[in-house]
Structure formats: structure tokens, C-alpha cells
Amino acid sequence: MKKRRYKIVFIDHTTKMGGGQVYLLRQLSQLDKDRFKPLVVCPSDGALPDHVRRSGVDLHIVPIHQSIINLRKEDLIGSPISFLANPFRLAAAIWRLVSWLKRHKIDLVHLNSMKAGFYGGLAARYAGLPVVWDFKDLLSEDFFPSINRRLIVGMANRWVDCVVANSNAIAEAFIAQGGRKDKVRVIHNGIDLSQFHPDNKPSGLRASLGLDPEIHLVSIFSRLDRWKGHVYFLQAAAQTREVYPDVHFLIVGATTFDNDGYADELHTLTRDLGLADRVHYLGFREDIADLMAMSDIVVHASTLPEPLGLTPMEAQAAGRPVVAVKAGGVLETVEDGLTGVLVPPKNAAAMAKALSDLLRSPDKRRQMGIAGRIRTEQLFDLQTNARRVQDVYLELIEAHR
């Protein structure tokens, strides 16, 4: 007898592309299509829905009022009622989603973002469906006020069957805030080991960017958000250039959410530091693997603890040494002195020293690259970790029968 395909809906609050949305697309690519039929729900059209459609996955628009989804993370919840400021709009959003879930006979709901959990989790519970909440954020005072953390934990404890934490750091923070330990599964994000590979040789990419094939290239990959530490990257770049005047720097990532003015500030700082001819802003790119492959060193510079840090993992898979901030989930992905160099947060001088030391030693870069690839193969393989998430789906669906 042919096994039934279970319908899994992935709900995201945003239509823009960030790290969580990029990883959603990777998860969808790994889903066992013989066992599961994936659907994605977004509040409106945009970049994420376009990518989902191109992947061949069913995309559905279930409208959510902008006042609900446009709140910044730090506003969740500035006061106990700021997110619920208009209960009628929130109730309408939840009711539309409940109706959609029942109409499409969904078997399990996967909440892909923190904000999606607020309305998606409640809708799924009203619809009587098992719920997985994908935690990509650290529930710490760096990111959420105390009342926010209590509300998020309360919802997870009551409405959600399983919290999939992308790192031990995320799981520990959730439990420390009162989250139920029995609901947590730590499943690290995985890397496509064929896409990010040391043997990748992107032909002509440097030339297309006007870069000499012989120069050293140091790159940072992240959206243009203040806490991602681009200011310290630029300051470290200026100090590194004093020792290695021919080194160039790539900043790869688009301005998203509410940070349009930040990009202008970075361009101004670049000029003030005399780096206008050495720093290249590439914006959002889909050829991240190729850009990493042509880089000599990849930098992670976040000023706050990263919940996991996908970029260092991708760089290691590509066989590139990493200079990363010593905090948060990065401690689980980068092995200091073996696959990269860990430096204190907000310390441009330490970052510059690490860059200079690596630029000075091709052998060290090569050895770290090899070790990073091995570590990624052992711990962060996309196929393996995606199967672990799918095992959770089957377990919860079976338990709800």
C-alpha cells in the first residue's frame, strides 16, 4: 500500500530574504517528497514567495495586516499589548489562517520565524494540528525585553509540540527562561556540502567584479544590520590594509527590514577610512558559494551573540578559514585555532591582527580550511540534519492521530 504524503505548511511572517528564509529554501529542497507535501504561507508577495514558486513548492498568500508583521523584533513586546494593539486585526489574521489550515487539510505546521509563532502557533492550535516552532533567535536580554521572553516561552510551552533549536546556545537560553526542556530538540542548521565545496573554482568571477586574480580577498556575508558588526569589519580592514596594502574586502548582503540608513553610514565610513577603492559592496547575491570560494578569509563580526552563525559554517564547508566573534552559537561551529580564529566582540584591533596573521601564512589558511571542511562534514551536513527534522514531523503526526 502506498504511504500517505503528509502536508506540511511552513509559515513565515516576512516576504523578504534573510538568513532564516534562505535556510527555509534549503530545508524545502531536502524534504522527502515521497513522504511529505510542502506548502509555504506568506502574508503577501515579495522576494521569498518568488523564490518559493521558482523552487516548485506551492506558495499561498494568507494576508496579515502590516501592523502585525512590521513590528521590529525589539518591539515584540515593548509592552504586554503592543503586538496585540488591535485585537480585531490579530483575531482576523488567526481566523483566516485557521480556515486555510482546515481547508487544505494540513497535517503539521512548521513556524519559520519568531513573529510567525505569535499568530501561526495559535491558529495551528485552534485547528488542532501539531506544531513545530523553529527557534533561530537567542531569548536573551540582548534581543528581547523580559516581558517578551516570558510571553514567547509561555506560548511555546502551551501551544507548541516541539521547539527545534538551531544550536545548544538557543536551547539553553530557552530553558533558562522557563522553557520546557522536554519540548526542545537541538538540530543544527546544515550546509549543502556539494554546493559549498573546497574544489569549487568560480571561473571569471573575480574578473567580473573588476578584481585581480592574484590579490588577497577578505569577505563578510550578512544583511546590512547594525548588530552584524560591519563597522568593526571596516575598521579592521583599514588596519589590515596598513600591513597589506593590496588586500580587498567584500561586503555581501542587502539592506533588509528597517535599516536603510545604515547602508549610507557604512558607505560614508568606508570613504572616511580611505577604503573606497578597496571595499566592494555587492548587495544581495545568490552565488554565495562562489563568492566564498574566491575569498581567502571569511569574517563573522556580529556585535551580539549569534544564535548559530550560518556564514562560518558555510565558509568552513568551502574550505575557507574563518575569523569570527567569540560568542553565542559560533562557539559550537568554529574551533578556535583549528578551523578559524575567534576574537572578542567589537574589537577591530584583534580582528585585524587575526586577519594579518592569516594573510601572512598560506599554510595556516590551507590547514584551517581542511579542518573546517572535515568538521562540517561530521556535524553540519544538510541532508543528515534535514532528515532529523523530518523524523520530528513523523513523530508528532503519529502522536496526534
What local confidence, expressed as pLDDT, does residue 69 receive?
60
What local confidence, expressed as pLDDT, does residue 361 receive?
97
What local confidence, expressed as pLDDT, does residue 236 receive?
99
CA 145 to chain centre: 21
User: Would you state the cell numbers that stand for residue 109, as one nine-digit string?
Assistant: 505546521
| Closest by Cα among 330, 217, 333, 224 to 279 | 217
> Based on the domain organization, do 174 and 267 belong to the same domain?
no
Specify if 1 maps to a domain. Answer: no
Place of cell 558588526: 229
User: Which pLDDT tens digits describe the chain residue by residue (401 residues)?
Assistant: 567 899 999 999 988 887 789 899 999 999 999 999 999 999 999 999 999 999 999 999 998 876 666 544 544 444 434 455 567 777 888 899 999 999 999 999 999 998 888 889 999 999 999 999 999 988 877 788 788 888 889 999 999 999 999 999 999 999 999 999 999 999 999 999 999 999 988 888 998 998 998 999 999 999 899 999 999 999 999 999 999 999 999 999 988 655 668 999 999 999 999 999 999 999 989 899 999 999 999 999 999 998 988 899 999 999 999 999 999 999 999 999 999 999 999 999 999 999 999 999 999 999 999 999 999 999 999 999 999 999 999 999 999 98
What would you report as the CA-atom Rg of the chain, rounded to the nearest whole angstrom? 21
Backbone angles phi, psi at 173, to 5 degrees: -65, -40
Q: What is the DSSP letter of 336?
A: B
| Burial track 157-174 (b if 16+ CB lie within 10 A, e otherwise) | eebbbbbbbbbebbbbbb
Backbone angles phi, psi at 97, to 5 degrees: -70, -40
Total domain count, the chain: 2
Specify if 198 maps to a domain. Answer: no
| Closest by Cα among 149, 151, 112 to 134 | 112
> Based on the domain organization, do 90 and 159 belong to the same domain?
yes
Could you give the 3-state DSSP secondary structure of residue 307? Answer: coil
What local confidence, expressed as pLDDT, does residue 72 receive?
47
Give all strands of the β-sheet with 162-165 in edge-to-edge order.
58-61, 36-42, 6-11, 108-111, 131-135, 162-165, 184-186
> Based on the domain organization, do 270 and 375 belong to the same domain?
yes
> Based on the domain organization, do 266 and 360 belong to the same domain?
yes
CATH value at residue 104: 3.40.50.2000
> Based on the domain organization, do 220 and 152 belong to the same domain?
no
Tell me if 151 sits within 8 A of 139, measured CB to CB. no
> Based on the domain organization, do 365 and 394 belong to the same domain?
no
Specify if 200 maps to a domain. Answer: no
How far separated are the first and last CA of the chain, in Å rounded? 19
> Based on the domain organization, do 159 and 37 belong to the same domain?
yes
Contacts of 142 by beta carbon, 8 Å cutoff, 6+ apart: 304, 305
What local confidence, expressed as pLDDT, does residue 77 receive?
43
What local confidence, expressed as pLDDT, does residue 395 receive?
97
Domain residue limits at 21:
6-190+381-399
What is the Cα–Cα distance from 288 to 290, expressed in whole angstroms? 5
Cα angle vertex 186, ends 36, 401, to 5°? 40
CA 389 to chain centre: 17
